[in-house]
Amino acid sequence: MTDPDHRRWHTASHPFTVPVPLLLSLRHGRPDAPLVVFCHGMGETPERFLEHWPMTCALGVHVAAPAGPFAREERTPGGVRIGHAWYLYDGGDRAFRDSLAVSTSWFHDALAAMEAEHGLRPRMRALVGHSQGAYFGYVAALERPDRIQALVAAAGRLKTSFVREALSRPGPLEALILHGEDDSAVDPEAARRSHRALTEAGYRSELRLLPGGHGLPPDRDTAAAGWLARVLDLPSPRPGSGTRR
């Protein structure tokens, strides 16, 4: 930066924090019930995201749905709303890595604080992520195998260069990868590569290619609910359980 008075300029920073929404639905009297955490896609909100997962939410689990910590303005035909994101991307890796590290640390701290506040001791934890939330979910789950034991990644992909250490020491994580056969936003081949990377590293991974594109039709919820019931050792979901708005 130049200045007519030949000043010397330095960069500085100062912390800026804002509250981040987190929706909860708890199984009262069951502090040890499994916890399922839902991570929305870019620009979405927890409320809108949960509408797609009625069967999964009806499994008899604690439900947590945090917003991504990076707020963003979303312009829609109905007006402007505030959505959220899990990381920042400018075409390079630096902002991507830095923001993902911030959000991953915040995510695990937020869950730990929520569990402590409500006296929860979940015997297992699962993460359900879609699109950017699935991308984030891979990192959050692989980096903290002590915190997340099951991952449902819908319409996302695993960036292996960000989790090389985790892939070198496989843990107990199980993963279900759901992807639309006609997804034009994230190529289905990315889901196949993610599945191969996990299985070759020694993780238990299942890939299901389903009809449709990048969205969340009801069959994603049906697949996730059935798989999570098995992995979390819960009663199988009944057809039609939950309410899809």
Domain limits of the chain?
Answer: 23-231
Percent of the chain past pLDDT 90, that is, above it, reads 79
Tokens representing 50 are 């949960």
In this structure, the chain runs to a length of 245
End-to-end distance of the chain based on CA atoms, in angstroms? 53
d(CA 64, CA 26): 8
Average pLDDT over residues 101-126: 97
pLDDT tens for 55-110 read 999 999 999 999 999 998 888 788 888 899 999 988 878 888 999 999 999 999 99
H or E element, residue 75: strand 70-76
Tens of pLDDT, residue by residue over 171-185, are 899 999 999 999 999
> What pTM value is reported for the model?
0.92
Do residues 23 and 64 make contact, with C-beta atoms less than 8 angstroms apart? yes
pLDDT at position 4: 65
Question: Is residue 244 over pLDDT 70?
Answer: no
CATH of domain 23-231: 3.40.50.1820
From the number of C-beta atoms within 10 Å of its C-beta (0-12, 13-18, 19+), residue 242 rates as middle
Check whether 3 has a pLDDT greater than 80: no
Angle at 56 (CA atoms; ends 200, 212), nearest 5 degrees: 65
What average pLDDT does range 140-149 have in this prediction? 95
Residue 243 has pLDDT above 60, yes or no: no
In percent, the amount of the chain with pLDDT more than 70 equals 95
Is pLDDT larger for residue 162 or for residue 223? 223
Would you say 227 and 176 are in contact if contact means Cβ atoms under 8 Å apart? yes
Pair of tokens at residue 133: 């939330």
Helices then strands, counting H and E runs in the chain, come out as 7, 9
Mean pLDDT of the chain: 93
- What pLDDT score does 52 carry? 98
Coil/strand/helix, residue 164: helix
Q: What pLDDT band is residue 1 in, cutting at 50, 70 and 90?
A: low
- Per-residue pLDDT at 245: 44
pLDDT at 240: 67
Strands 35-39 and 125-130: parallel
* Phi, psi of 27, rounded to the nearest 5 degrees: -90, 95
